[in-house]
Amino acid sequence: MPEPALQDRVILITGATGGFGAALAEAAAAAGAQLVLAGRQQKKLEALSDRITAAGGPVPCLFPVDFTRASGDPYQLLAEGIEADLGRLDGVVHAAARFQALTPLAGLELEEWQRALHLGVTVPFALTRACLPLLGRSPDASVVFMDDAVGRGDNAFWGGYAVAKAGLSSLMTLFATEHGHRDDLRFNALRPGPMATPLRARAFPSQDEKAQPTDQAVSACLHLLGPSGRGINGQTLDPDQSDLGGC
């Protein structure tokens, strides 16, 4: 993709300070996007914002929030803030995820199960629903959900994370089908494959901590967000083609 491919587009990224979210944010800013970055830690959001602006990107809008603990309706609050401050929204990437450790279902705490499903399915649903009016006014809007091969159900011990990914795949398909009559609003999933992120380190502690999310996965996400992705709807992109789960 040429660097200005996302010029004048407003893109919301959740889990923006995570391994993939941060790499995507820097690449999207370099491609010209005005970013809205949502994450749990204010300091990490500010550090990411500093890196983006130091590289010449536009100053991102920051939304520090822990969706697993937030009270009220943070989804509507975020959507209203984007409309008030920026007046438009052209893309959403749901990069936030929760995974604590490989655990048998019989030993999984109910609270951890509920948090994994809340962040993995409920938050993407609620935030997408809140943003639909804004997305619907964009001339070319794209929503990207982060998929994972462990959601197929044949990988033991991944618990609520795996079940959430399976549900997220169905959620994407439902959104894509219900809006399939439009060519200006699309819903897709990206399966980035194994990446050296803090999330994956909980399952594979011996991984190379210096490794970064793959360029192929970031480029594939930019493709889905930009004009070259128009016409793609209800699909799961897997640039890595790997069966090893845990992004």
Burial of 215 (0-12, 13-18, 19+ CB in 10 A): exposed
* Partners of residue 146 on adjacent β-strands: 190
Question: Rounded to a whole number, what is the distance in angstroms from the first to the last CA of the chain?
Answer: 23
Considering the candidates 99, 161, 175, 187, report the single residue annotated as catalytic. Answer: 161
Measured from the Cβ of residue 207, the count of other Cβ atoms closer than 10 Å reads 15
Residue 188 token pair = 């897709």
Name residue, tokens 């493709």: 223
Name residue, tokens 């959104």: 175
75 is catalytic: no
The enclosing H or E element of 115 equals helix 110-117
Query: Which positions are annotated as active-site residues?
Result: 161
